[in-house]
A and B are shown apart, each in its own frame.
Chain A
């Protein structure tokens, strides 16, 4: 950047001081400037003309001329010979020539420089505006990208929900619902209860997460979050002071008649990530799952003839093993315990059909809605599958079953 001195008084002071210094030197030391070659006044004029332009250059030429005359006057006593001889007169031509010519060139350059500097300032301001606009555009671009990605994610989420819950097997739907709540809502703990046929009790169906203290049965005649969900049939939040075993958030699974078929409870929620979108997602899962369950139950109802031995709730082995497979998946993915019991059985003097009806009668009072019993003739065993039950209870439960059979046979 070229130096620009805009304070003109400083230039005048500079010129006055320099001329005064030269004058004092001349007075004190009686210096004969005129015999110097080159003449030092030439440099004074040249300096000021170049540095400050025509006006100060002319002033420096006036000052140089006066000092020249003063010096000549002191040396020669009069001024007569000053303009007669070209040797002396040429210096005045030089002073004024340099002042006018160099001063003009300097002023012209300074003027051009001023114009360029103004253009530069304009360009700088334009650039600053463009920079702001560019950052605004970047922000808009990012926001649009987020919107696009969000829309794509929403579509993918919907696809995931649809794919996961579009099953004709209610067991798979329950397992996938837990997986969806875990992946999409990022719940640390999930529990799903199914409503008993009587509508007064909830039975634990599936659970996942650290809160392993979910009760296996919830009685709805006692006030609780579950009872509130059943009453309001909407998503409810845990009240202050309620036990940690109660989910923070619970919502109903409704059938086509708006009757409750189950409840999903969520715990261990990240409240930073929890927003309206998450709540909408939870409601969507509840609605979608409710509809899928209704379809699956209807389908299962039709399949019951194939699934169970005639006139019993004793499952055929293939269906039992499919259910066992689903429980194994839950045990692997969600660390949900289950109990598998194998009890050898012999039909003494009885046909298989009659024996199974009798077995059905003896066991139905003992088993929960979620439990399954099967007879595998190949193994010669009765098989019991008790979801959400600790394997440590195996011997106690087997003793109870054996006891029930022994009493039944004796009665």
Chain B
């Protein structure tokens, strides 16, 4: 996993996350406008996406659903992050196609490890073959 896209309307947090992940050797594309981010991410095709949930014009759930609808993002880990910790958010994020719903504040190293694990897992699917084959 080399390329990470981060989407967050909070510019300060966005740049902090960008710097931290760049220090860990990742190429980071940072976006503070989710609508512009959707278009750019589809073109850039990063290895993983980390997006905030509550953003103007396009929520993290909508962004995730749009990306997951694109077959080329089937194996891309998409993590949603939010400070909102309410019942129903997990299943809502699952329904939007997200792989993980992270509650802020979080440990960057843990997220980085999880992103790597999900990237590995996503690219190592179970393959079902006919029993007689």
Residues of chain A touching chain B, judged by Cβ–Cβ distance below 8 Å, are: 317, 321-322, 324-325, 328-329, 332, 340, 342-350, 354-355, 358-359, 376, 378-380, 382-383, 401-402, 405-406, 408-409, 411
Contacts and interface: CB of A to CB of B under 8 A. Distances in A.
Contacts, number: 76
B18 to A, nearest CB: 27
B124 A350 contact: no
**10 pairs of A and B residues whose beta carbons are closest in the complex:** A344-B125, A321-B91, A325-B91, A405-B126, A324-B91, A355-B128, A345-B126, A346-B125, A346-B127, A348-B127
B94 A321 contact: yes
Contacts of B128: 345-348, 350, 355, 358-359, 405, 409
Nearest to A321: B91
8 contacts: A321-B95, A325-B87, A343-B126, A344-B122, A345-B128, A349-B129, A354-B130, A359-B128
B8 interface: no
A238 to B, nearest CB: 34
A411 B75 CA distance: 28
Given A325-B91, A332-B87, A344-B124, A378 B68 contact: yes
Contacts of A409: 127-129, 131
Q: Among B69, B95, B122, which residue has the most Cβ atoms of chain A within 10 A?
A: B95
Interface of B: 68-69, 74-75, 87-88, 90-91, 94-95, 97, 99, 121-122, 124-131, 133
A350 B125 contact: no
A344 B128 CA distance: 11
Q: Among B122, B124, B125, which residue has the most Cβ atoms of chain A within 10 A?
A: B125
Given A325-B87, A332-B87, A411 B68 contact: no
Contacts of A378: 68-69, 97
Contacts of B90: 324-325, 328, 340
Contact of B91 (A328, A348, A402, A406): A328
Given A344-B121, A411-B131, A382 B126 contact: yes
Contacts of A325: 87-88, 90-91
Q: Among B88, B94, B122, which residue has the most Cβ atoms of chain A within 10 A?
A: B94
Given A328-B87, A328-B90, A342 B126 contact: no
Contacts of A411: 131
Nearest to A405: B126
Given A344-B122, A350-B130, A358-B131, A379 B97 contact: yes
A228 to B, nearest CB: 37
B128 to A, nearest CB: 5
Nearest to B98: A379
A332 B69 CA distance: 31
Given A344-B122, A345-B128, A380-B125, 19 more contacts: A322-B91, A325-B88, A343-B126, A344-B124, A345-B126, A346-B125, A346-B128, A348-B128, A349-B129, A349-B133, A355-B128, A358-B130, A358-B131, A376-B94, A378-B69, A379-B94, A379-B97, A402-B126, A409-B128
Contacts of A321: 91, 94-95
A321 B127 CA distance: 24
A112 B66 CA distance: 106
A322 B95 CA distance: 11
A367 to B, nearest CB: 15
